[in-house]
């Protein structure tokens, strides 16, 4: 089964691409890390308790006081938590690391369970939708990575404020910056190998019609490098599937190290 890592940055159109891939003619199952991230911090979960324990005393509006009664506790006030962790100050960076340290391991476990489920169902491919795919290291398990990007960060800020009217200009800019420059992610995807279909970039600077055309071209390229019959062969002959998965991990690990070396060399030249 081909694992297609789908990533980008906030307000670049990643969710729109995910929606396109989940419907005909693709009809691919989507593992949405954002949805899983909400699931693992619902009242009563270990993630919820850890967040309340760490942020509760210093974030008075962390919980939704007017929410319906829940025996496991009041839901998290996500905008308030977002204001606490998004930003470029050292304090906010530290708090964001703490939050990621709580949420990411729980999400990763849910992802692995979902991957096993879809593999046993004989799916040709599955889309792993993760905003911080590279940052979390989950690109390591992906056969292909698609980055959805825009060339101008101001497009992201404008789209974000149009989508989330409660955000101030500063809030929107902080959220865009917190996920890194999507153009760097695009370059990292290309570093994986565009000719082999291991790295694909979809630019979303225009409208949805052009985006759909770009998705069609990207999927044609991916399907050519990893046809459906190959996925069935790996399912029918498990030892081969295990071998291919191991080889994919080795290639991706080497690619990660190569990318890190490239960035270090570029930094040394500055």
Domain-embedded: residue 35: no
Domain-embedded: residue 34: no
- Which among 108, 137, 166 is the end of a domain? 108
Phi first, then psi: give them for residue 6, nearest 5 degrees.
-115, 120
- Residue 48 belongs to domain spanning: 42-108
Could you read off the pLDDT tens digit of each residue along the chain, which spans 270 residues? 899 999 998 899 999 999 999 999 999 999 999 999 999 999 999 999 999 999 988 888 899 887 776 788 889 998 889 888 888 888 888 999 999 999 989 999 999 999 999 988 888 999 999 988 998 899 999 999 999 999 988 888 889 988 888 888 888 888 888 777 899 999 999 999 988 889 999 999 988 999 999 999 999 999 888 888 877 787 788 888 889 889 999 999 999 999 999 999 988 877
Give yes or no: residues 179 and 226 share one domain: yes
Give yes or no: residues 204 and 237 share one domain: yes
Give yes or no: residues 80 and 148 share one domain: no
- Which among 76, 108, 140 is the end of a domain? 108
Give yes or no: residues 128 and 237 share one domain: yes
Nearest one of 219, 222, 244 to 233, comparing CA atoms: 244
Distance CA 49, CA 39 (A): 13
Domain-embedded: residue 37: no
Q: Which CATH number covers residue 13?
A: 3.40.50.300
- Which among 57, 73, 108 is the end of a domain? 108
Give yes or no: residues 51 and 153 share one domain: no
Q: How many domains does the chain divide into?
A: 2
pTM for this predicted structure: 0.85
**Considering Cα of 99, then 4, then 119, then 251, what sign does the dihedral take?**
negative
């Amino acid at each position: 089964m081909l694992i297609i890592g789908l990533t980008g940055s906030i307000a670049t159109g990643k969710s729109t691409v995910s929606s396109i891939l989940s419907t005909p003619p693709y009809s691919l199952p989507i593992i949405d890390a954002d949805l899983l991230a909400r699931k693992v911090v619902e009242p009563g979960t270990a993630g919820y308790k850890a967040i309340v324990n760490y942020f509760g005393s210093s974030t008075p509006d962390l919980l939704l006081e007017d929410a319906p009664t829940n025996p496991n506790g009041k839901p998290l006030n996500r905008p308030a938590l977002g204001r606490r962790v998004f930003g470029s100050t050292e304090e906010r960076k530290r708090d964001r690391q703490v939050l990621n340290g709580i949420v990411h391991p729980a999400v990763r476990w849910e992802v692995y369970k979902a991957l096993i489920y879809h593999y046993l169902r004989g799916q040709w491919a599955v889309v792993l939708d993760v905003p911080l795919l590279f940052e979390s290291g989950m690109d390591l398990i992906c056969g292909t990575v698609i980055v959805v990007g825009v060339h101008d960060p101001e497009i992201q800020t404008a789209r974000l404020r149009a989508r989330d009217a409660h955000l101030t200009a500063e809030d929107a800019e902080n959220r865009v910056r917190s996920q890194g420059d999507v153009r760097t992610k695009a370059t990292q995807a290309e570093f994986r190998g565009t000719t082999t279909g291991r790295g694909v970039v979809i630019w979303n600077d225009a409208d949805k019609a052009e985006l759909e055309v770009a998705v069609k071209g990207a999927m044609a390229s991916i399907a050519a490098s990893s046809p459906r019959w190959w996925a069935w062969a790996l399912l029918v002959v498990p030892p081969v599937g295990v071998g291919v998965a191991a080889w994919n991990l080795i290639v991706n690990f080497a690619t990660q190290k190569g990318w890190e070396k490239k960035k270090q060399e570029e930094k040394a030249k500055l």
